[in-house]
Structure 1
Amino acid sequence: MPEYQSLKVELNNQIAHIQLNRPEKLNAMNAAFWEEMVEVFDWVDATDEARVVIISGAGKHFSAGIDLALLSTAAGEMTRDIGRNAERIRRNVLRLQAAFNAVDNCRKPVIAAIQGYCIGGAIDLVSACDMRYATTDASFSIKEIDMGMAADVGTLQRLPHLIGDGMMRELAYTGRSFAGEEAAALGLVNRCFADADALLAGVTAIAEEIAGKSPLAIRGTKEMIRYSRDHSVEDGLNYIATWNAAMLQSEDMKIAMTAHMTRKKADFAD
């Protein structure tokens, strides 16, 4: 099992649990975090036993977003040359984006379990996940506007597909906080739970159900959903026809059909 500075990783019952693990800093995203997110999702993709991912935060909060010390360090690297400063900033932003692109691009479904603060960069992270669940008292905010900047690691690109353009604009322009119940009403989270224990139990039950399905069917379903988000209906239909030309010949279909007919639980290979 890989070990990291900013993350705690476990693999049980085909579920990879990735926990943001800086509770004393409200799980703020430091320099190590951005590198380790890419590494851990490379590991998830390469580990066939891992069929579903849960992302949670250690302690009372999911994450307070990017560590301000990281921004201070970046500011200290500026020179008097505007062009070189711009090139350096752009490369750094693209490097940060890669951390959450790795979540979005993961072959396996990724579920966010959110309690306490989910602020700034944490919204970017959960927007890249497949599903989100929260406690009723969770606190969300697209906080970048109050820092004098536009969110640049995925929120403004992914959130409109989750909650609609108008509400995304309101939340991004105002930076106001909203709780779990409003997040559920908006469609940002699928469901709210009373507390952190109930949240993790509920999310784990959903992950276990997904882990019991055909890994190839889950893989294809996620790929088609992601592709269709960024392409036309016609493109999406053509892609699934080509994809299933191979996948409909899988042994998983035979296993699933037999299980359905005999009313027994299917047992799929990794």
Structure 2
Amino acid sequence: MAGDRDASDATAAAEAELRAGFETLAVTRPDPSAGVYEVRLNRPAQRNALSPAAFAEIPRAMSLLDRTPTARAVVLSAAGPHFCAGIELGGPGDPLAAASAAGAGDTVVAAEALRRAVLDMQGALTAIERCRKPVVAAVHGACVGGGVEVVAACDIRCCSRDATFVLKEVDMAIVADLGALQRLPRIVGYGNAADLALTGRKITAMEAKEMGLVTRVFDSKEELDAGVAKIAKEIAEKSAWAVMGTKAVLLRSRDVTVEQGLEHVATWNAGMMRSNDLKEAIRAFLEKRKPVFSKL
């Protein structure tokens, strides 16, 4: 009983902070009975371009959802006709211009300010990957530059048939630096990643599916929203410990040898295979019923 009260208090505190509001995001729990939360890029007039505020708010939202007991899966979507126009460039919200201006008059100071700014922006997107709850991207319309780097940090990527993807950095005379060049080769293979990054060409939803950038394509935005919600709900209904463990092992195994990955999952399961969720899953299977898993 005390554990239930603690979980309830933690949930209430986290949800109150989530409701406190964001400037660039909208964080909601569409179905109070499901463990699915939606993080929506919410600057439609700017085509959801990533501003300094967005880079500050994305990791805050992900951290809150990571420690919210009722959050079992996260949907990352966007408001308006397009998913994301990339980093906001050339205006008062340009984070790189602001960093460069901070070191005006001293090229070394300016270079260090830019380096820190890039590292901070990288960390903001890595927060999506580090969130222990699986993040499912729902992409529609244009997904440009930094937008592609956002979805590359997600665990599952889906899109509507009107979606397009493009890494424009090479055409802006810069190198993509927020994770696309590190994550895309592992998602779509080196050749496809090099094709996208070196040509700056735009690809359609179906080509994105063919190369493995997305796993599912839906005919419309409405079908995308419904389909992704269904995927996230299915994940949320599974054992939270098994889901979080699977994500952790997948990420760990991506960056190490097969032998090191096998050692990691053996160590993980040495502790987790004694969970009450495993016992409940076996009982439910034998009794031909739906399992009721423990709360976080």
Shared fold (TM-score, shorter chain, > 0.5): yes
Cα distance in structure 1, aligned partners of 2:266 and 2:158: 32
Unmatched runs of 5 consecutive residues or more in structure 2: 1-14
Q: Which residue of 2 aligns with 1:5?
A: 23
Cα distance in structure 2, aligned partners of 1:61 and 1:75: 29
SS of the counterpart of 2:286?
A: helix
Bigger Cα displacement from structure 2, 67-76 vs 111-120: 67-76
Unmatched runs of 5 consecutive residues or more in structure 1: none
Q: Which residue of 1 aligns with 2:156?
A: 131
Q: Shift of the alpha carbon at 1:75? A: 4.0
SS of the counterpart of 1:159?
A: helix
- The one of 7, 17, 22 equivalent to 2:38 is 17
Cα distance in structure 2, aligned partners of 1:195 and 1:211: 24
Sequence identity (%): 43
The TM-score, its normalising length taken from structure 1, stands at: 0.98
SS of the counterpart of 2:165?
A: strand
Cα distance in structure 2, aligned partners of 1:269 and 1:143: 45
Q: 5 Å matches for 1:204-243? A: 204-243=229-268
Give the length in aligned residue pairs. Answer: 270
Cα distance in structure 2, aligned partners of 1:264 and 1:219: 23
- Which residue identity is paired with 1:209? E
- The one of 156, 160, 168 equivalent to 2:185 is 160
Q: Displaced runs of 4+ in structure 1, greater than 4 A?
A: none
Q: Which residue of 2 aligns with 1:57?
A: 78
Q: Shift of the alpha carbon at 1:85? A: 1.2
The TM-score, its normalising length taken from structure 2, stands at: 0.89
Cα distance in structure 2, aligned partners of 1:25 and 1:32: 13
Q: Which residue of 2 aligns with 1:47?
A: 68
1:161-217 deviation per Cα after TM superposition (whole angstroms, max 9, x unaligned) = 000001110110111111101000010000111110000100111111111110000
Q: Which residue of 2 aligns with 1:86?
A: 111
Cα distance in structure 1, aligned partners of 2:270 and 2:46: 49
SS of the counterpart of 2:293?
A: coil
Cα distance in structure 1, aligned partners of 2:50 and 2:272: 39
Q: Which residue of 1 aligns with 2:209?
A: 184
Cα distance in structure 1, aligned partners of 2:235 and 2:284: 16
Q: Which residue of 2 aligns with 1:35?
A: 56
- Which residue identity is paired with 1:200? D
